[in-house]
Amino acid sequence: MDKKLQLQLTDENQTNILMSFYCELLEHGFSFKVYDGELFHDECSLDDILDLYHDLDVMHIHVQKDDYKGCASFIFGNGEDGVYCMYDYSCSLENLIPRTLAFIERLANERCERLGLDY
């Protein structure tokens, strides 16, 4: 795969993972704020998050609903087609983002199949 297509696939995967994460937690009534390494951006919408994503290498998305707080950390442009951009998240979020985790799993499987690797 040429470099331009590789970058396009990475951007598409990372964007779709962020969108899935956001939409799934929004359905549960969470609010979002982003830490960009220097500043907190409060009350972020999906558009805000996607705008920030294009300017950052690392992003921490903090979510809150009532007394519950969680966080997910993302590293962008780290290779592997962007499949593993969400590299860490609060354990308690796992039950709230099953579709996002399944989507990442599917992307990982597709990548391995395309490259002829075992997953």
Q: What is the pLDDT of residues 97-107, one digit of tens each?
A: 999 999 999 99
88 beta partners: 73
Identify the DSSP state of 105.
Answer: H
Q: What is the pLDDT of residue 1?
A: 66
Contacts of 89 (CB under 8 A, 6+ apart): 70, 71, 72, 73, 97
Q: Which amino acid is at 52?
A: L
Residue 67 CA to residue 2 CA, distance in Å, equals 47
pTM: 0.92
What pLDDT is attached to residue 119? 56
Q: What is the mean pLDDT of residues 10-29?
A: 97
Phi, psi of 101 (to 5 degrees): -65, -40
pLDDT at 2 over 80: yes
